[in-house]
């Protein structure tokens, strides 16, 4: 059991012999437990150097070894749901020497990526997709008369999503030779919630565990095996050998510990789901654990969480809903202070939105805290159940825009484009933490649906006036009047850099605050004495806020430069690197102004 993350690379002589699964197969089965220990030590070291997803990978070391030992990958298909736990898989499939580049610009992807390796059968990042994808590959092999196996590894957290059950139902219907492995560690990112999680947990230590769990999955025509210890290779390998020799839908239920082998992560699986990198030690420093939560000024999410607690204290109708993101959305204090008004619906974004609609119909005031990238999964429910019925549901759209090291699967680049075409929708883009507080105040008074998008991390405001009031819906804010016949219209958290550029080039600067409704009166006024408009947003240019401005001013004699995320996938790296790639940092904004001035 490890209690510290090593600062220097550990000796891993057995692991050093393995660069691909064919080399793994040359080992004796008796050597595999030692390989697991060395793989776990190497994983601790590399994640300590780079930061990244942590607990999930430690929990599937033995499973990863067993699967690659027995399967004929990459001809057999192995799909890791979500992908948080794929680091051991990457290490055993030729990427061990590149692990120190993970999550960095031009380095290894933080999740499985089909462009990175032939062993990554399917790109994952969002949960609950693995069974559907593996089933598709299984049926394709049947159509192509190929004998390959398809295996989906899914956690008990991801199994709460309806999509997983849709796939299980279909697999039984087509009698697929599919193996689904339930990695049951009683966790997703947060602790699991819901009836299924409670059912699995309650059955594990009873005498009738096998019969009860088998009944659940065999009702879907799966041949159930388990539960077995997912860390015991002497049990795991024979069980897999037996299952892989069978035909038809198979279900293996294994019990693992998230963060296995690292005492702090086993004790705090939420805090050690992912970690920041550890800094090198000075000669006089004591070796300490990495800081998982740094004591800094408040993030946008922190301000949202504080607003929720303050507002709920005097508004008994206010409730919070999250699809398994209590910690990330900073609703921990709300859940503690108002447990009867906090609802973690597990990884079930579609249900979260329609559940909110039902609450709103009964005069409750629901706030759905959801990441932009996961809001995509509830798009139909937003249109059909919230917007069409014009229900007062607030969407707190966290992680909007570029998010850094998690890459394209987690970037929140499309929410404005998705929502602004929908009637009854108000879209707010606060530029800093103070503006977020004002936006939340205003949204709480709206009679219909409101989406407030804000980024990961910090803005430019160091102190928030929590006694501030509301802003008028659709009202922008002119920050400076320039004399250059050019106006810079800002939507969201890039305002500080925009202000520097506006000052340098004597531009009119407007914090638009709203994508929908736009401040049409102000835009009409500005179009009288401005010839060119720059729009700035941390969102895709295509169908974004800038396009809303140009559509409104289409009959005016003005021209436009839209600054935002181009029509391509932005590689993982730091958020600052991503903004620079997109020309959304101060230098990039200034260069866009310079280019326009040269031909103006």
Active site (catalytic) residues: 258, 349, 377
Q: How far is CA 269 from CA 185, 189, 228, 261, 379, in A?
A: 10, 8, 21, 12, 31
CB crowding 69-89: b at 16 or more within 10 Å, else e = bbbebbebbbbbbbbbbbbbb
* CB-based contact 228:239 (threshold 8 Å): yes
Nearest to 220 by CA among 182, 240, 249: 249
Structure tokens at 16: 């050093």
Structure tokens at 315: 């508004």
Beta strands 365-371 and 318-322: pairing type? Answer: parallel
* Alpha-carbon span 39 to 95, nearest angstrom: 13
| Helices and strands counted in the chain (H then E) | 23, 19
* CB-based contact 150:248 (threshold 8 Å): no
DSSP character at residue 91:
I
* Alpha-carbon span 254 to 236, nearest angstrom: 8
* CB-based contact 200:254 (threshold 8 Å): no
- Counting Cα atoms < 13 Å in the Cβ hemisphere of 66 gives 25
Q: Which residues contact 74 (CB under 8 A, 6 or more apart)?
A: 118, 119, 121
Neighbours of 187 (CB within 10 A): 23
* Alpha-carbon span 353 to 350, nearest angstrom: 6
Question: What DSSP string describes 110-175?
Answer: SS--TTT-TT--S---STT-HHHHHHHHHHHHHHTT----EEEEEETTGGGSHHHHHHHHHHHHTT
3-state class percentages of the chain: helix first, strand second, coil last, to nearest 5: 40, 15, 45
Nearest to 456 by CA among 407, 403, 508: 403
* Alpha-carbon span 251 to 532, nearest angstrom: 61
* CB-based contact 139:174 (threshold 8 Å): yes
* Alpha-carbon span 89 to 109, nearest angstrom: 13
DSSP character at residue 225:
E
Nearest to 330 by CA among 215, 433, 201, 473: 433
Nearest to 468 by CA among 436, 492, 513: 436
Nearest to 517 by CA among 489, 475, 562, 547: 475
């Amino acid at each position: 059991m490890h209690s510290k993350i090593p600062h220097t690379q550990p000796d891993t002589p057995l692991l050093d012999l393995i660069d691909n699964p064919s080399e793994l197969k040359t080992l004796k089965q008796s050597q595999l437990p030692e390989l697991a220990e060395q793989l776990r030590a190497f994983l601790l070291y590399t994640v300590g150097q780079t930061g990244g997803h942590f607990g999930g990978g430690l929990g599937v070391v033995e499973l990863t070894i067993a699967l690659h030992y027995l399967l004929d990958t990459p001809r057999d298909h192995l799909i890791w749901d979500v992908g948080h736990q794929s680091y051991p898989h990457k290490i055993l499939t030729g990427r061990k020497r590149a692990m120190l580049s993970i999550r960095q610009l031009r380095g290894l992807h933080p999740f499985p990526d089909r462009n990175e390796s032939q062993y990554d059968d399917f790109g994952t990042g969002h949960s609950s997709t693995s069974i559907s994808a593996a089933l598709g590959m299984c049926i394709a092999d049947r159509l192509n008369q190929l004998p390959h196996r398809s295996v989906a590894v899914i956690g008990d957290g991801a199994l709460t999503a309806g999509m997983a059950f849709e796939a299980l139902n279909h697999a039984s219907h087509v009698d697929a030779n599919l193996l689904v492995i339930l990695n049951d560690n009683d966790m997703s990112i947060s602790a699991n919630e819901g009836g299924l999680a409670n059912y699995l947990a309650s059955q594990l230590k009873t005498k009738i565990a096998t019969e009860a769990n088998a009944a659940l999955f065999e009702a879907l025509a799966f041949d159930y095996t388990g539960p077995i210890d997912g860390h015991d290779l002497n049990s795991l390998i024979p069980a897999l050998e037996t299952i892989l020799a069978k035909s038809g839908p198979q279900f293996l239920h294994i019990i693992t510990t998230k963060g296995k082998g690292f005492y702090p992560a086993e004790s705090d699986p939420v805090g050690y789901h992912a970690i920041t990198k550890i800094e090198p030690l000075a000669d006089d420093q004591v070796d300490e654990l990495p800081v998982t939560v740094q004591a800094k000024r408040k993030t946008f999410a922190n301000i949202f969480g504080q607003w929720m607690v303050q507002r709920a204290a005097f508004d008994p109708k206010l409730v919070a809903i999250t699809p398994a993101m209590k910690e990330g959305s900073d609703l921990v204090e709300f859940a503690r202070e108002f447990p009867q008004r906090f609802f973690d619906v597990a990884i079930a974004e579609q249900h979260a939105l329609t559940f909110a609609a039902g609450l709103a119909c009964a005069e409750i005031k629901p706030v759905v805290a959801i990441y932009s990238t996961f809001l995509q999964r509830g798009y139909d429910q937003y249109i059909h159940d919230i917007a069409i019925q014009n229900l007062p549901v607030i969407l707190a759209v966290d992680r909007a825009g570029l998010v850094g090291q998690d890459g394209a699967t987690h970037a929140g680049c499309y929410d404005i484009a998705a929502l602004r075409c929908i009637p009854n929708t108000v879209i707010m883009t606060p530029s800093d933490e103070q503006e977020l507080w004002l936006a939340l105040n205003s949204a709480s008074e709206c009679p219909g649906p409101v989406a407030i998008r804000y980024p990961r991390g910090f803005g430019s405001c160091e102190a928030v006036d929590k006694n501030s009031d509301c802003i008028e819906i659709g009202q922008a804010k002119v920050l400076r009047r320039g004399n250059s016949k050019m106006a810079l219209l800002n939507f969201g958290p890039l305002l500080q850099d925009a202000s520097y550029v506006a000052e340098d080039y004597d531009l009119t600067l407007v914090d638009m605050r709203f994508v929908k409704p736009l401040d049409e009166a102000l835009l009409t006024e500005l179009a009288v004495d401005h010839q060119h408009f720059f729009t700035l947003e941390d969102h895709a240019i295509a169908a974004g806020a800038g396009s809303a401005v140009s559509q409104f001013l289409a009959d005016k004699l003005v021209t436009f430069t839209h600054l935002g995320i181009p029509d391509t996938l932005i590689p993982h790296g730091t958020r600052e690197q991503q903004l620079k790639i997109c020309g959304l940092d101060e230098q990039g904004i200034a260069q866009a102004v310079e280019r326009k001035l040269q031909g103006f």
